[in-house]
A = this chain, B = another copy of it.
Amino acid sequence: MADANSQSNLQPRPVSKSMPIALSRAREAVMLHFRPLLAERGYTEQQWRVLRVLNEQGPLDATNLARHAALLLPSLTRILKVLEDRNTISREVNPADSRRSLITLEQSMVAYIDSEMKKTEAVYEEIINQFGASNTAELLRLLALLAELDPPALSNRHLVQP
């Protein structure tokens, strides 16, 4: 017996090499640095993302806002409800297509977001200081590439007969 652990010649991928878990862990390590800022502001990570996107892109409909903020529409629906109640955004229906709404950042938020983003940038500097500028650039490159993976071949999704 070569090894008490050799169950089938092929070892299953250890958890330590799981890509989703590695991505989660890395994200968590980064978020530890940003959470204090978010707590000060009184916005969650995802709420703040929505504000950043609107500040950066201008008014958007929900679908595109979700795309830019990397959120699913049901999450965005709930977030928009909260942000609207706090008067940080407003909504109107697109007259050309009444399915679509147009979400706009309140003018009063623009200066605040810009000023908070400077704190965010300072945290980034700390992180990049430790992690290295070239590591950071390389990581962002690889992540963007990975995000563009072809979606799976959608095998036998449900075998619905047309």
Contacts and interface: CB of A to CB of B under 8 A. Distances in A.
Please state the number of chain copies in the assembly: 2
Interface of A: 7-8, 10, 12-15, 17-34, 36, 45, 49, 52-53, 55-56, 68-70, 114, 117-118, 120-121, 123-124, 126-127, 130-131, 135-136, 138-140, 142-152, 155, 157
A39 B69 CA distance: 26
B12 A49 contact: no
Contacts of A144: 22, 25-26
Contacts of A27: 19-20, 23-24, 27
A131 to B, nearest CB: 6
- What is the interface of chain A mostly: helix, strand, loop, or mixed? helix
Given A36-B152, A118-B10, A26 B130 contact: no
A26 B146 CA distance: 6
B68 A152 contact: no
Nearest to A156: B36
